[in-house]
Amino acid sequence: MQSNAKLARGDLWSLEEYSEKRSEFRTQVLAHKKNRQVRLGEHATLYFEDALTMKYQVQEMLRIEKIFTGPEIEEELGAYNPLIPDGSNWKATFMIEYPDAEERRVALTRMPGIEHKVWVKVGDNSKVYANANDDLERSNEEKASAVHFMRFELDPASISDAKNGATISMGIDHDALPYSIEVSAETAASLTADFAG
């Protein structure tokens, strides 16, 4: 499955088929996801989505909700397909993570606008900041949300350099949670597979 191919009903298993394949498929997806998670310090993580991670999400939703009719399946595909990269971008779920709910609540009040300060960078190219929450506004002036959906639109030079093995770094330019990191070769290879061609 191409990492940037949108899902169609023909890509999915029936509930019965999925119950037989679920354990093996889950193992495959968890191994795949390992190289698509980038920790941005102690309290934030980017989880990069692609066709495989979204197929898993859809299959799990169909299983949990016992959905098997065409229109309902199409509705789920309509909800999850926008989270699959389009060949020139990366799409990710950004999570601010504090185990203690009260600590998280207080921390989020110090982070308004953090979703607009998350970036990726390929080689010597400029930082690319996230387009956050295309679906809805999740933060307000008082506090940030703990979960954001992000799209990083990369320019042709960045895409070309990534395909040619340039280093990929990511970070946050927000005073409350500043961080930057160079991703592993395995993560870089997995993310580069999201580009068309």
- Residue 194 CA: distances (Å) to CA of 46, 126, 132, 161: 15, 20, 19, 14
Q: Is residue 43 part of a domain?
A: no
Are residues 98 and 68 part of one domain?
Answer: no
Query: Average of pLDDT values for 167-173?
Result: 98
Please tell me the distance from the alpha carbon of residue 30 to that of residue 16, in angstroms, as a whole number. 21
The number of distinct structural domains making up the chain is 2
Do 123 and 78 fall into the same domain?
A: no
- 119 φ/ψ sector (left φ>0, alpha ψ -120 to 50, else beta): beta
Kindly tell me if the per-residue pLDDT of 163 is higher than 70: yes
Residue 2 lies in a domain: no
Task: For 135-153, write each residue's pLDDT tens digit.
Answer: 554 444 567 789 999 999 9
User: Does residue 19 sit within a domain?
Assistant: yes
Report the pLDDT value the prediction gives residue 138, as an integer from 0 to 100.
46
Amino acid at 32: H
Asked if residue 197 is part of any domain, the answer here is: no
113 domain residue, yes or no: yes
Q: Can you give the residue range of the structural domain that contains 96?
A: 89-192
177 in the same domain as 101: yes
pLDDT > 90 in the chain, percent: 87
Claim to verify: residue 55 and residue 117 sit in the same structural domain = no
Question: Which candidate, 47, 137, 55, places its Cα nearest to that of 93?
Answer: 47
Residues 72 and 102 in one domain: no
Q: Is the pLDDT of residue 197 over 80?
A: no
Mean pLDDT of 86-99: 95
Percent of the chain beyond pLDDT 70?
94
Cα–Cα distance measured from residue 187 to residue 78, given in angstroms and rounded to the nearest whole number: 27
